[in-house]
């Protein structure tokens, strides 16, 4: 017994919307999905007319759908935005090189300019080389920190006013849970924000137009629209802890489909007690990037790699920042301590 679309009342429903439980047909789904992103963009005032906007593109489903919908909406509603794709090449053979091929195809399909910044050119290290030195345990820390900066640097090279990323509702909900699980109240407070204000000169504001879009709908949108995306897990991401949180989110969704947006609601309404210390944002003394310490995380990680002491940036060694800045060698004791942490 086919279900009729709750929206047009004519065609056969093709999917059940997780946020509301409505059953809709393909065309009504496309329309509603795009309108919702539009509504998010408009009511959160994410862009201004005439801005240059970089779409962080990985070749994966979220950024592919984002690029597609941004282009559609920009034309449909005359946003007047100059859109371009911005990709980061982490230097992971067998993963990023393949997904970048997808991005290059997207560039052709959507006729958008593409800029690729690589870890190798920015930092002198590919992820393959980093993993060779640090192993599989903390490589995600390097990759994440480096990517954040790489996107910003690419954005500055492209002279874009804003970056938009493909973070979806599931990602935001997962981040809320992760921050609760690690007791990080400062991030917990920030992680549900739809856009980051320009926090310093080195940082380009970012926003998440897909913040309220369910992963299920993103995947179905890509599937029904036959969008070309790349879907393989990063070969270096054995992050068990985040995996637990992801599984939990998916389990919750299967118990009550609205859970994901319910978690975001929770995150948006949390508030932190007065007197809880929040980090003060400053800038890195070496590269000028925002940092709550004398040196930004990327510079410390890089220093660790270059000195052959990768632990330097992994755990907190703020005391050593002065020495790094002054380009002084560490004492034998300090080096020994860093090496022993590795085991």
Partner 1 sequence: MAAPLSLHLEFGGGAELLFNSEKKHQVSLPGQAGPWDIRQLLVWIQQNLLKERPELFIQGDTVRPGILVLINDADWELMGQLDYQLQDGDTVVFISTLHGG
Partner 2 sequence: MCEINEDFHDRLECVQDVEGGLKKCVKCKEANASVVIKGGDAHCRACFKENFTHKFRATLGKNRVIFPGEKVLLAVSGGPSSCSMLRQVQEGLSQNAHKKLRFLPGIVYIDEGGAVFRSSEERQKTVAQLQAIFKATGYPFHIVPLEQVLDLPSSTILTAPSASQPAHTGAYKTAVDQFIQHEISSSAAREVQEETDVYESQEPHTQALQKLIGSAKTLTAKQDLVNTLRQHVLVHTARSKGYSKVMLGDSCTRLAVKLLSNISTGRGAHLAQDTGFSDTRHGDVILVRPMRDYSAKEIAYYNHVFAVPSVFIPGLDTKNADKASIHRLTESFVNKLQADFPSTVSTIYRTSEKLQTVCGSSSTADPCDRCLLCVCALDTADDGVSALQATLTSEKLSKFRGNTRPGMPVLISGELRQSAPTVRDCRSGEGENCGQAQVGGSCCSSDMKPEKTDLKSTLCYSCQLIVKDLSSVECLPQYILSEAMRRQRRSLMRKEITFAPVSNVGQEKTLVTVPGSELWAVDQTSH
Which residue's CB is nearer to partner 2, number 212 or number 230? 212
Per rule CB under 8 A, is residue 60 in the interface with partner 1?
A: yes
Q: Minimal CA–CA distance to 168: which of 44, 83, 252, 60?
A: 60
Per rule CB under 8 A, is residue 241 in the interface with partner 1?
A: no
Token readout for 228 is 């070309």
- Find which of partner 2, partner 1, none residue 106 binds, CB within 5 to 8 Å per kind: none
Q: Can you tell me the distance from the alpha carbon of 173 to that of 168, in angstroms, rounded to the nearest whole number?
A: 9
Q: Can you tell me the distance from the alpha carbon of 191 to that of 173, in angstroms, rounded to the nearest whole number?
A: 9
Helix (H, G, I), strand (E, B) or coil at 148: helix
Write down the least CB distance from residue 321 to partner 2, Å: 16
Total binding residues toward partner 2, as defined by CB under 8 A: 92
Q: Can you tell me the distance from the alpha carbon of 174 to that of 180, in angstroms, rounded to the nearest whole number?
A: 10
Token readout for 57 is 């593109």
Tokens 């100059």 correspond to 82
Per rule CB under 8 A, is residue 128 in the interface with partner 1?
A: no
Per rule CB under 8 A, is residue 3 in the interface with partner 1?
A: yes
- Contact between residue 169 and residue 213 where contact means Cβ atoms under 8 Å apart: yes
Q: Can you tell me the distance from the alpha carbon of 182 to that of 173, in angstroms, rounded to the nearest whole number?
A: 14
Per rule CB under 8 A, is residue 215 in the interface with partner 1?
A: yes
Per rule CB under 8 A, is residue 63 in the interface with partner 2?
A: no
Q: Minimal CA–CA distance to 143: which of 190, 89, 206?
A: 89
- Given 163, 176, 284, 338, the residue binding partner 2 (CB under 8 A): 176
Token readout for 58 is 């990985």
- Find which of partner 2, partner 1, none residue 198 binds, CB within 5 to 8 Å per kind: none
- Given 97, 101, 184, 251, the residue binding partner 1 (CB under 8 A): 251
The one segment of 27-35, 152-160, 218-226, 321-329 that binds partner 2 by CB under 8 A: 27-35
Q: List residues binding partner 1 (CB under 8 A).
A: 2-3, 12-16, 23, 58-63, 99, 166-168, 170-171, 215-216, 218-220, 223-224, 229-234, 246-247, 250-251, 253-254
């Amino acid at each position: 017994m086919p279900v009729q679309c709750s929206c047009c009342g004519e065609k056969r429903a093709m999917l059940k919307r997780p946020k509301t439980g409505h059953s809709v047909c393909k065309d009504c789904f496309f329309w509603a999905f795009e309108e919702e992103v539009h509504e998010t963009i408009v009511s959160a005032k994410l862009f201004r007319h005439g801005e240059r906007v970089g779409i962080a593109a990985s070749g994966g489903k979220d950024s592919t759908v984002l690029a597609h919908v941004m282009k559609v909406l920009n034309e449909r509603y005359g946003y007047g935005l100059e859109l371009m794709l911005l990709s980061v090449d982490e230097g992971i053979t067998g993963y990023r090189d393949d997904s970048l091929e997808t991005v290059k195809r997207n560039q052709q399909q959507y006729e958008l300019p593409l800029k690729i910044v690589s870890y190798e050119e920015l930092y002198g290290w590919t992820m393959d080389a980093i993993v060779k030195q640090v192993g599989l345990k903390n490589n995600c820390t390097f990759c994440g920190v480096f990517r954040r900066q790489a996107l910003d640097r690419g954005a500055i090279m492209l002279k874009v006013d804003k970056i938009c990323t493909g973070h979806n509702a599931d990602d935001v909900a997962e981040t809320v849970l992760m921050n609760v699980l690690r007791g990080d109240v400062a991030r917990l407070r920030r992680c549900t924000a739809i856009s980051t204000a320009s926090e310093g000169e080195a940082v380009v504001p970012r926003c998440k137009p897909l913040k309220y879009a369910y992963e299920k709908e993103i995947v179905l949108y890509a599937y029904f629209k036959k969008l070309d995306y790349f879907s393989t897990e990063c070969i270096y991401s054995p992050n068990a802890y985040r995996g637990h949180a992801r599984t939990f989110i998916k389990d919750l969704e299967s118990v009550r489909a609205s859970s994901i947006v319910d978690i975001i609601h929770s995150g948006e309404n949390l508030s932190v007690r007065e007197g809880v210390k929040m980090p003060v944002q400053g800038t890195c003394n070496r590269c000028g990037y925002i940092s709550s310490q004398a040196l930004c995380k990327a510079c410390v990680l890089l220093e660790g790699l270059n000195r052959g002491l990768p632990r330097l940036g992994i755990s907190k060694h703020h005391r050593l920042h002065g020495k790094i800045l002054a380009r002084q060698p560490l004492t034998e004791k300090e080096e020994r301590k860093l090496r022993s942490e590795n085991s």
